[in-house]
């Protein structure tokens, strides 16, 4: 069914040269070499001894690497050649929404009028930034069906903790002392960790045979000691929680709040909104849904949107639109909500990430964002269906943005586990899917192709999976166990890293 | 509508047919009709990239306090340091920018090795042997340090010097609502912390102090260290990673945990983010470390390799018993810092710190010669300092902006008499001519 076009997302042609170890920058260092170059300032020279009282002065120097600019550039460039990225090829890492990151957003983040603004400058000098933040907040509220939002949280987990502290403040303001937060057993690990930091205990509810929250089990643990329920919808199995309105009603009946983990928001943009499902608090991962680059593990941004009744508790200061001036020009300022839980970031959040997200949002527009969700779900279902005979499908029904499959039969019959499939896939020129998550699926392969991969890339990915399975069937697990073969290093000894901890170059000696 | 999806209409039709579906709407059959969005989002339709870029250029123009048009004398945790094109070019490489957390180490050696180098550099700055792969910002590092300290000491009474950045203290207060830590803010006396006698029945579990502190003052940390020795508390030091080029390191003062805002190392001011929190501690606390840690190991062929390690501390494995909830961190900024620090090298860090201190000395001498301008405190300062003014600080900042300067940061209600006090910073980027012009404008601006 595919045409003759080559897959754009297969990276197997990448010229990752050689198999030598790249020395650390410390090994490249030669005392006396330097790369730095600073402005000529003509500020009067004062000896260090006169600048720093002796009690505070260090006697030695902080020993850093001493390299030439040329060697530094070569070193870091070689490191970059040892790194897989979305720009190189498909990255079907489930739950991470590794979609293409539009380059125009880089241009936005590089604008000197945005990047060169000090965070403590007063509002009269930062009207552009305030306007930008207000515009983003409104758009995010519209997309989630909520009333107001904070843009401060720096990542999804920071958003979760913010949401839990909002929950705590809300109950406290209503004279209600509660101790537990309910989360499903399929939840991301950040959920229970955030619950603990929020001062609550975790109550876990199981998943039913259809892959959704077990409603009966949920009802059994719901009482007036429950502060809230945290749900991801679609959940981490890639399935929509069809009983969501019932869950919302039951939560609200006992006075609990419903928290939406936005990790999987990409699937439902413009289709259904958390606010309309009955959620009270919603966090978003702008680095997933709104295509801001993940930067090898961060930065992210985790805004939290809330229903009207929770808005007075939001972190402050918040950017707000003020009355226009006499000439009708819009004006913006900061405000602290009356019952604010306080700051959750040193300044205003990961502002340049927020700017990138708004740019992505505006290029796509309301129509484009719905198309994003449609095609993300189309791609995931196509791949799920295409791989039906290749892997087990523990929950064999239409999915949303990602498909959770299992390598259980492959393991049982040929001794090839999900980990081996992941490593062998690297040899095929693709990043691996998420493996062994959700925890409730044996030998889980969690595949999220995202909407930016083409049909040709999906077909190539499917064929790569098929080859791995066929290889195991034909010649046993040896090749898969030894994989990857073509990567800058081969399978890494993770146990040794933990056993003999070497976390700095200096610890090596 | 955006153009980032590759599907042609024919391909969509083929794919739907493969699934046995008629329309894209059919993909969402599992979502109850009653809650589906009726009608359209109240968001404008998508527009071309040039239109969006024009919109942002307009927003950028509306920011008067932009670095290329207004000379920056503001610091307070965010500094206008030199960011050379080398750092911009290398840190902007899309292999670093568009990769995810290194879950597959065999194809993530680039990020992992860069973070390993970063950890080494941060440990050399802090003087403590274990450094993580970064946290969100300095404020988060403080919170995590306090959480670690409370767990290690087994006591949740937290003494925080008011010399610690006021915003960081606010974030700490916010999170304390969840952790239940009891926080006591200890006031400054003439620029340095006036530690009280500990109550033997309720001694602190954590003592947190800043070097230099928010007012730019240098504090003798041996006082705080002795307090910790006497009470068994953990000492958390928030340090300035540039000033440490000249100053004794937190490790040398006996810190148990050292935290810092890493923005000065190659990261744009960016209206406050994304930045990065530096976090270092002693080997004794490695299993309590928050966030990711990269370790060195070998691959099956015995070649040197890197991998995230001691993972059993982390949320995805330990869940509600994890040391922290941090997952996504600020890796790209950590890579940036590693590049910038290697560009600076041993001599460059000293040079930048020295030039900052010289510029601050020159500016401070000039400012104190202005009628009515007084030092806020008499404790020694290095690269940042606070002044009392004869006019409200907000007014000064407003007047100075008209003259083309971001004059500093009003101390505001964080400190006594703060409405008439300003925090001034001078970095290595300020020339004598710029400082002279600043002094002249300042003299005009403080006239009643």
Q: What are phi and psi of B278, to 5 degrees?
A: -85, 145
Q: What per-residue confidence (pLDDT) applies to A12?
A: 79
Q: Which residues of A touch B326 (CB under 8 A)?
A: 155, 157
pLDDT above 70 for A3: no
The whole-number average pLDDT for the span A149-165 is: 98
Q: What per-residue confidence (pLDDT) applies to A17?
A: 67
The conformation of residue B248, written as its DSSP 8-state character, comes to: P
Query: CB A298 to CB B329 under 8 A?
Result: yes
Site of tokens 């259904």: A272
Determine how β-strand B294-298 pairs with β-strand B277-281. Answer: unpaired
Selected residue of B5, B237, B242, B293 to mutate for chain A interface (largest A Cβ count, 10 A) = B5
Nearest to B247 by CA among A45, A49, A63, A52: A52
Burial of A8 (0-12, 13-18, 19+ CB in 10 A): middle
Q: Which residues of B touch A76 (CB under 8 A)?
A: 90, 93, 114, 339
d(CA A38, CA B32): 62
The whole-number average pLDDT for the span A366-375 is: 97
3-state secondary structure of A89: coil
Question: Which phi-psi region, left, alpha or beta, contains residue B255 (left: φ > 0; alpha: ψ -120 to 50)?
Answer: beta
Site of tokens 């957390």: B101
Domains of chain B with bracketed CATH: 9-61 (no CATH), 71-82+346-445 (3.90.1150.10), 86-339 (3.40.640.10)
| pLDDT tens digit sequence for A419-437 | 999 999 999 999 999 999 9
Query: CB B43 to CB A377 under 8 A?
Result: no
CATH architecture observed for domain A369-496: Alpha-Beta Complex (3.90)
The whole-number average pLDDT for the span A353-359 is: 98
Q: What are phi and psi of B245, to 5 degrees?
A: -60, -25
| pLDDT tens digit sequence for B334-344 | 999 999 999 99
Q: Which pair of structure tokens corresponds to residue A478?
A: 């040896």
Name residues 184-213 of chain B within 8 A of A (Cβ).
Answer: none
Q: What per-residue confidence (pLDDT) applies to A2?
A: 47
| pLDDT tens digit sequence for B31-67 | 999 999 998 999 999 999 999 999 999 999 999 999 9
Q: What per-residue confidence (pLDDT) applies to A343?
A: 98
Name residues 354-413 of chain B within 8 A of A (Cβ).
Answer: 354-355, 357-359, 361-362, 380, 382, 394, 397-398, 401, 406, 409
Q: What per-residue confidence (pLDDT) applies to B313?
A: 82
pLDDT above 70 for A1: no
Please state the ipTM of this predicted complex.
0.98
Looking at the complex, report in whole angstroms how far the Cα of residue A489 sits from the nearest Cα belonging to chain B.
5
**Which of B77, B134, B296 comes nearest A346 by C-beta?**
B77
The whole-number average pLDDT for the span B97-104 is: 96
Q: Where are the domains of chain A?
A: 23-80, 105-362, 369-496
Q: For residue A19, what pLDDT band results from cuts at 50, 70 and 90? A: confident
d(CA A502, CA A51): 37
Q: Does B280 touch chain A (CB under 8 A)?
A: no
**Which of B100, B120, B268 comes nearest A96 by C-beta?**
B100
* Residue in A closest to B180 by C-alpha: A199
| pLDDT tens digit sequence for A96-154 | 999 999 999 999 999 999 999 999 999 999 999 999 999 999 999 999 999 999 999 99
3-state secondary structure of A179: coil
Site of tokens 């460039």: A77
The whole-number average pLDDT for the span A383-389 is: 96
Q: For residue A223, what pLDDT band results from cuts at 50, 70 and 90? A: very high
3-state secondary structure of B438: helix
Site of tokens 């290595």: B428
Q: For residue B316, what pLDDT band results from cuts at 50, 70 and 90? A: confident
Helix H or strand E encompassing B50: helix B49-61
Cα radius of gyration rounded to whole Å, chain A: 26
Query: CB A423 to CB B104 under 8 A?
Result: yes
Cα angle, residue A302 at apex, residues A298 and A308 outer, rounded to 5°: 175
Q: A262 and A213 in contact (C-beta within 8 Å)? A: no
Average confidence score pLDDT of chain A: 96
Q: What are phi and psi of B337, to 5 degrees?
A: -65, -40
Q: How far is CA A467 from CA A404, A428, B107, B252, in A?
A: 19, 9, 20, 57
Report the 10 Å Cβ neighbour count for A376: 29
d(CA A157, CA B291): 12
The whole-number average pLDDT for the span A285-289 is: 97
Q: Which pair of structure tokens corresponds to residue A174?
A: 């209503």
* Residue in B closest to A201 by C-alpha: B320
Looking at the complex, report in whole angstroms how far the Cα of residue B224 sits from the nearest Cα belonging to chain A.
14
3-state secondary structure of A96: coil
Q: Which residues of A touch B248 (CB under 8 A)?
A: 56-58
Q: What per-residue confidence (pLDDT) applies to A18?
A: 72
Q: What per-residue confidence (pLDDT) applies to A15?
A: 60
Nearest to A64 by CA among B424, B349, B99, B106: B349
Report the 10 Å Cβ neighbour count for A32: 9
pLDDT above 70 for B139: yes
Q: Which pair of structure tokens corresponds to residue A54?
A: 């002796």
d(CA B298, CA B304): 4
| pLDDT tens digit sequence for B357-404 | 999 999 999 999 999 999 999 999 999 999 999 999 999 999 999 999
pLDDT above 80 for A326: yes
Query: CB B92 to CB A106 under 8 A?
Result: yes
Selected residue of A3, A113, A352 to mutate for chain B interface (largest B Cβ count, 10 A) = A113
Nearest to A122 by CA among B69, B319, B398: B398
CATH code for the part of the protein at A105-362: 3.40.640.10
| pLDDT tens digit sequence for B71-92 | 999 999 999 999 999 999 999 9
């Amino acid at each position: 069914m595919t045409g003759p076009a080559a897959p754009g997302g297969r990276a197997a042609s990448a010229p990752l040269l050689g198999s030598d170890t790249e020395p650390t920058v410390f090994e490249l260092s030669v005392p006396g070499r330097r790369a730095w170059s600073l402005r000529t300032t003509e500020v009067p020279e004062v000896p260090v001894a006169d600048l720093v009282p002796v009690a505070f002065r260090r006697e030695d120097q902080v020993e850093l690497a001493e390299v030439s600019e040329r060697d530094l550039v070569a070193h870091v460039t070689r490191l970059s050649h040892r790194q897989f990225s979305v720009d190189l090829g498909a990255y079907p890492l489930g739950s991470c929404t590794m979609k293409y990151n539009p380059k125009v957003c880089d241009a936005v983040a590089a604008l000197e009028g945005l990047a060169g603004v000090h965070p403590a400058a007063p509002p009269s000098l930062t009207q552009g930034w305030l306007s930008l933040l207000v515009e983003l907040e409104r758009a995010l509220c519209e997309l989630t069906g909520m009333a107001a939002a904070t843009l401060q949280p720096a990542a999804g987990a920071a958003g979760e903790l913010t949401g839990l502290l909002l929950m705590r403040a809300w109950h406290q303001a209503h004279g209600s002392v509660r101790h537990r937060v309910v989360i499903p057993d399929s939840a991301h690990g950040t959920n229970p960790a955030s619950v603990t930091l929020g001062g609550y205990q975790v109550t876990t509810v199981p998943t039913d045979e259809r892959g959704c929250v077990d409603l009966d089990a949920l009802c059994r643990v719901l009482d007036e000691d429950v502060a809230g329920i945290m749900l991801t919808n679609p959940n981490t199995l890639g399935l929509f929680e069809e009983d969501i309105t019932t869950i919302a009603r039951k939560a609200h009946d006992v006075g609990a709040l419903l928290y939406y983990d936005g990790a999987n928001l990409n699937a439902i943009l413009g289709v259904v909104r958390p606010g309309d499902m009955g959620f009270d608090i919603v966090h978003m991962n702008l680095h997933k849904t709104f295509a801001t680059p993940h930067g090898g593990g961060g930065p992210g941004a985790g805004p939290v949107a809330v229903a009207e009744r929770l808005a007075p508790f939001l972190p402050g200061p918040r950017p707000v639109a003020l009355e226009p001036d006499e000439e009708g020009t819009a004006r913006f300022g900061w405000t602290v909500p009356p019952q604010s839980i306080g700051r959750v970031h040193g300044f205003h959040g990961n502002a340049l990430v927020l700017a990138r997200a708004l740019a992505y949002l505006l290029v796509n527009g309301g129509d484009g964002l719905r198309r994003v969700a449609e095609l993300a779900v189309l791609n995931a279902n196509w791949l799920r269906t295409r791989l039906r005979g290749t892997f087990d499908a523990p929950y064999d029904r239409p999915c949303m943005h990602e498909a959770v499959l299992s390598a259980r039969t492959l393991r049982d019959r040929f001794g090839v586990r999900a980990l081996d499939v992941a490593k062998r896939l690297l040899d095929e020129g693709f990043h691996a899917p998420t493996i062994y998550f959700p925890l409730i699926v044996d030998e889980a392969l969690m595949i999220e192709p995202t909407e930016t991969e083409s049909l040709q890339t999906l077909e190539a990915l499917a064929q790569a999976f098929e080859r791995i399975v066929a290889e195991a069937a034909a010649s046993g697990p040896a090749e898969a166990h030894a994989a990857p073969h073509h990567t800058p290093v081969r399978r890494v000894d993770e146990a040794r890293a933990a056993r003999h901890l070497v976390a700095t170059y200096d610890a090596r000696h | 509508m955006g153009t980032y999806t590759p599907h042609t209409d024919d391909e969509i039709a083929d794919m739907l047919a493969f699934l046995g579906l008629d329309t894209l709407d059919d993909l969402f059959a599992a979502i109850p009709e009653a809650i589906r969005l009726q009608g359209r989002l109240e968001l404008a339709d998508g527009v071309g990239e040039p239109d969006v870029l024009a919109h942002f250029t307009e927003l950028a123009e509306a920011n008067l306090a932009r670095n290329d048009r207004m000379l920056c004398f503001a610091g307070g945790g965010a500094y206008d340091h030199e960011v050379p094109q080398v750092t911009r070019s290398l840190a902007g490489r899309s292999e670093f920018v568009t990769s995810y957390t290194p879950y597959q180490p065999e194809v993530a050696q680039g990020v992992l090795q860069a973070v390993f180098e970063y950890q080494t550099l941060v440990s050399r700055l802090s003087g403590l042997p274990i450094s993580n792969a970064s946290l969100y910002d300095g404020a988060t590092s403080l919170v995590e340090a306090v959480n670690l300290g409370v767990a290690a000491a087994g006591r949740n009474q937290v003494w925080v010097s008011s010399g610690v950045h006021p915003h960081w203290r606010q974030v700490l207060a916010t999170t304390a609502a969840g952790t239940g830590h009891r926080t006591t803010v200890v006031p400054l006396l003439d620029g340095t912390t006036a530690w009280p006698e500990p109550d033997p029945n309720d001694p602190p579990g954590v003592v947190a102090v800043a070097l230099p502190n928010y007012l730019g003052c240098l504090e003798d940390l041996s006082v705080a260290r002795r307090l910790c020795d006497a009470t068994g508390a953990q000492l958390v030091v928030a340090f300035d990673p540039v000033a440490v080029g000249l100053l004794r390191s937190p490790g040398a003062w006996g810190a148990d945990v050292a935290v810092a805002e890493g923005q000065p190392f190659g990261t744009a001011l960016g209206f406050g983010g994304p930045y990065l929190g530096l976090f270092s501690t002693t080997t004794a606390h490695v299993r309590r470390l928050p966030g990711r840690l990269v370790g060195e190991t070998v691959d099956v062929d015995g070649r040197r390799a890197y991998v995230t390690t001691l993972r059993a501390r982390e949320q995805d494995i330990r869940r509600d018993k994890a040391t922290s909830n941090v997952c996504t961190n600020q890796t790209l900024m950590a890579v940036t810092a590693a590049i910038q620090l290697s560009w600076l090298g041993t001599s460059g860090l000293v040079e930048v710190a020295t030039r900052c201190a010289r510029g601050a000395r020159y500016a401070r001498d000039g400012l104190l010669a202005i009628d009515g301008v007084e030092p806020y405190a008499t404790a020694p300062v290095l690269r940042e300092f606070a002044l009392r003014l004869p006019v409200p600080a907000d007014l000064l900042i407003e007047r100075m902006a008209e003259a083309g300067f971001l004059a500093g940061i009003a101390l505001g209600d964080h400190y006594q008499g703060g409405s008439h006090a300003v925090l001034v910073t001078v970095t290595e980027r300020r020339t004598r001519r710029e400082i002279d012009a600043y002094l002249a404008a300042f003299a005009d601006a403080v006239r009643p």
